[in-house]
Chains A and B, each alone.
Chain A
Amino acid sequence: MTTYIIRRLLLVPVILFGVTILIFGMLQFLDPVERVSMYIRDTPKSDAQIEALITKYGLDKPIYVQYWKWLVGDVDPITNVRSGGILFGDFGYSRTNSQPVADLIKNRFPNTLDLTLWAIGPVIFVGIWLGIQAAVRHNKPFDQMARIFSIIGTSLPTFVFGLLVLMLFYANLGWFPPGRVSDEFSKIISSAEFTNYTKLLSIDSLLNGRFDIFLDVMKHMVLPILTLSYISWATFLRVTRSSMLETLRMEYVTTARAKGLSERDVIHKHARPNAMLPVTTLAGFSIVGLLGGVVITETVFNYPGIGATAARSAAQLDVITVLGFTLFTGLILVVSNVIVDVLYAFIDPRVRLS
């Protein structure tokens, strides 16, 4: 067990190193003039100034020097101020959003986190429930319906489904608007009387005792959550169903039946816990995926999370911003994948013993 975890943890720096190399490699497609814009806020007046900046940030040095400078940045010997250095959280300056990329991430990530928190329940548990029901009623009408549902679910691309629900629930019925919060409330939120405890709007509004804002925030999140859930239900249904079917064929399930246990106990006490193993991995990675920002869903619903911001910057060819976001998401993913793997070893003895 300990060796497994240690081996898994030793891999983290290797992967992280690889990710930085990959992103730095992509950066090399830009010419130095564009790369220097990573460090500066105003457009330089003359070519000579640009040249000076390129020399200052070492963009004419050999590639390994550049990589090192990109990682740790430069410390000005006189003022002792560090500039650049992604290891110190300086991802550069976002041209299209007119603020440092790190600040942008700090502003947008809580929104993604908020959405993730509320989406976990519907995304994971409904799909698992459907899968179990389908497996128990194998080849009955419910199972057939579930299969059709899952095929249609996987065939509906996020952006088509998202636009369809927007047409129905917003344009036609006017129930659930896109965006983050209504205009009248966004003024209150940015004013001094509203304290940001956690930066998660749904929780902060409750902590501030503003139930009306909470309702409004939730109303804006209904459609993104619905979209995320619908798409993942199909996958969860399929995985749970096949894993459950396999478990139900096991001999210990027959034993449980033979000794006269009720079908309820056979399914929920003996079969289900064992059938949940592959589903747990899927659930873990789904949560990680949600945290990494759901680019298309956020964009369709104009939800200001990290995914939508990255997409908008990419459409405006603001490479520095997207790179920062990708790096940030990459870090989150590496760390959370390890956590999922280690947790999985706790659940499934076969993993840690092999």
Chain B
Amino acid sequence: MAENQKPTGDNKLLSDTISVREITRLERWLGPDNYRVVMGLFKTPASVIGLSLLSFFILIAIFAPVIVPVPEKGDPYKIPRDGFKADPQPPMTPWKKNAPELPFWWKPIMKTDQWVHIFGTAQGQYDIFYALVWGTRTAFRTGLIVTIATFLIGITIGGISAYYGGMVDNIIMRIVDVFLTLPFTLAALIMAAILTPVIGKSLVPVMIALVVFGWMGYARIIRGDILSIKERDFVLAAKVVGVKDSRILFRHIIPNAIFPTLVLASLAIGDVTLSFAALSFLGVGVEIGYADWGQVLSFARNWITSLNTYWYLITFPGVTIVLFVLGWNLIGDALRDVLDPRMRGKS
């Protein structure tokens, strides 16, 4: 009976014997391997929790001006102070001076007109809640900028090193070794200390310091990936046709080698944020009173003997930082499982 049938293009026989899977547009665009990695993010409960934590922080960063309005046209990244008293004040102390205007959610939830210090104040009456909400923006800003910069520098240097090979490769890799030899925190500290008098106290010195001592990992990874792609036929074909070196590198090789490095880079945003917070905890970088998590936490250092009374100086900033890093780590863990070559084809 099959002999009389005309081919319809809808081969039932084939789809019954071989299970055919619908290929979505996203999968076609990303390619099967990359698609599997992206989908891996939604598989385990841990990675879903990670994604939710992260979305929560992204929302806070976007809606910071709605959650806590900026008091009277000040710099939004300057934490508002309620007076100048030295002792920290406990959570729920009424806000007396220099209070921002009431946000829309305050009255329905709190049932009063009185703005209070929800998480208390640090020394010098800096409001901790404001600092944490606006610090989320600082965290993402520094994390993104530093990661993008290190990533670009890393892939350029790693790309050049792998593409030219030989002497160039050898010299560049020794330079990478030298940069990796210096302990990261110390090296970043010294760079920030050198740049601060030149640039002034702001986010920039610490960010530059993190970039200068952060690109080596990407350079190494992309180098390895490029070395394997360089041998493929399409690169040879491009060379035969006479395409310029730089064009082969940037248009043909790097786009094909970049994905694993890109995944690593997006995960590194969490780490970078943490390094930034650590440096500003140590007292380099931004000036006192800038809305930045490490800075807020460093206030606790002056009250170590009485932390039982002033518990809120570490508890709230600490929990914020831990949740943020936890979010990144959960996603990172899920991705590591998917990216592990031994797991390929198992899902």
A-side interface residues toward B, CB under 8 Å? 11, 14-15, 18-19, 21-22, 26, 29-30, 151-152, 154-160, 163-164, 166-167, 170-172, 178, 289, 292-293, 295-296, 299-300, 302, 307, 310-315, 317-319, 322-323, 325-326, 329-330, 333-334, 337
Q: Which of A11, A151, A318, A337 contacts B193 (CB 8 A)?
A: A318
CB neighbours (8 Å) of A22 from chain B are: 178-179, 182
Whether the Cβ atoms of A326 and B282 lie closer than 8 Å is no
Whether the Cβ atoms of B283 and A315 lie closer than 8 Å is yes
In this assembly, does B322 line the interface, its C-beta being within 8 Å of a C-beta of chain A? Answer: yes
In this assembly, does B148 line the interface, its C-beta being within 8 Å of a C-beta of chain A? Answer: no
Whether the Cβ atoms of A29 and B174 lie closer than 8 Å is no
User: In the bound complex, what is the Cα–Cα distance between A170 and B326 (angstroms)?
Assistant: 26
6 contacts between A and B (CB under 8 A): A15-B181, A158-B278, A163-B314, A171-B306, A293-B183, A337-B181
User: In the bound complex, what is the Cα–Cα distance between A157 and B300 (angstroms)?
Assistant: 15
Interface residues of B in 184-209 (CB under 8 A from A): 185-187, 189-198
CB neighbours (8 Å) of B187 from chain A are: 326
User: In the bound complex, what is the Cα–Cα distance between A167 and B195 (angstroms)?
Assistant: 34
CB neighbours (8 Å) of B321 from chain A are: 157, 160
B179's nearest neighbour on chain A, judged by CB, is A22
CB neighbours (8 Å) of B297 from chain A are: 159-160, 163
User: In the bound complex, what is the Cα–Cα distance between A334 and B180 (angstroms)?
Assistant: 10
CB distance from A219 to the nearest CB of B (A): 16
Q: Which of A157, A160, A299, A330 contacts B182 (CB 8 A)?
A: A330
User: In the bound complex, what is the Cα–Cα distance between A151 and B198 (angstroms)?
Assistant: 40
Whether the Cβ atoms of A315 and B318 lie closer than 8 Å is no
CB neighbours (8 Å) of A300 from chain B are: 301
Interface residues of B in 104-127 (CB under 8 A from A): none
In this assembly, does B305 line the interface, its C-beta being within 8 Å of a C-beta of chain A? Answer: yes
User: In the bound complex, what is the Cα–Cα distance between A170 and B195 (angstroms)?
Assistant: 37
CB neighbours (8 Å) of A299 from chain B are: 282
Whether the Cβ atoms of B322 and A317 lie closer than 8 Å is no
Whether the Cβ atoms of B181 and A334 lie closer than 8 Å is yes
In this assembly, does B311 line the interface, its C-beta being within 8 Å of a C-beta of chain A? Answer: yes
- Centre residue among B193, B274, B277, B326 by max chain A CB count within 10 A: B193
Interface residues of B in 149-198 (CB under 8 A from A): 174-175, 177-179, 181-183, 185-187, 189-198
Whether the Cβ atoms of A330 and B181 lie closer than 8 Å is yes
Whether the Cβ atoms of B177 and A18 lie closer than 8 Å is yes
With A160-B322, A167-B311, A171-B306 in contact, is A151–B329 under 8 Å at CB? yes
In this assembly, does B308 line the interface, its C-beta being within 8 Å of a C-beta of chain A? Answer: yes
With A15-B178, A296-B282, A329-B186 in contact, is A319–B194 under 8 Å at CB? yes
Whether the Cβ atoms of A319 and B193 lie closer than 8 Å is yes
User: In the bound complex, what is the Cα–Cα distance between A314 and B279 (angstroms)?
Assistant: 10
CB distance from A178 to the nearest CB of B (A): 6
Whether the Cβ atoms of A155 and B178 lie closer than 8 Å is no
In this assembly, does B307 line the interface, its C-beta being within 8 Å of a C-beta of chain A? Answer: yes
CB neighbours (8 Å) of B194 from chain A are: 26, 29-30, 319
In this assembly, does B27 line the interface, its C-beta being within 8 Å of a C-beta of chain A? Answer: no
Whether the Cβ atoms of B326 and A19 lie closer than 8 Å is no
Q: Which of B189, B314, B330 contacts A295 (CB 8 A)?
A: B189
Whether the Cβ atoms of B191 and A19 lie closer than 8 Å is no
CB neighbours (8 Å) of A333 from chain B are: 181-183
User: In the bound complex, what is the Cα–Cα distance between A162 and B218 (angstroms)?
Assistant: 30
Q: Mark B301-317, 1 if CB is under 8 A from A, else 0.
A: 10011111101001001
Known: A151-B329, A157-B278; 8 extra A-B contacts, CB below 8 A, are A14-B174, A15-B177, A22-B178, A158-B278, A164-B314, A311-B189, A322-B189, A334-B181
CB distance from A109 to the nearest CB of B (A): 14
Whether the Cβ atoms of A19 and B183 lie closer than 8 Å is no
Whether the Cβ atoms of B322 and A178 lie closer than 8 Å is no
CB neighbours (8 Å) of B307 from chain A are: 163, 166-167, 170-172
Whether the Cβ atoms of B193 and A329 lie closer than 8 Å is no
In this assembly, does B281 line the interface, its C-beta being within 8 Å of a C-beta of chain A? Answer: yes
Whether the Cβ atoms of B183 and A289 lie closer than 8 Å is yes
In this assembly, does B79 line the interface, its C-beta being within 8 Å of a C-beta of chain A? Answer: no
Q: Which of A155, A159, A293 contacts B281 (CB 8 A)?
A: A159
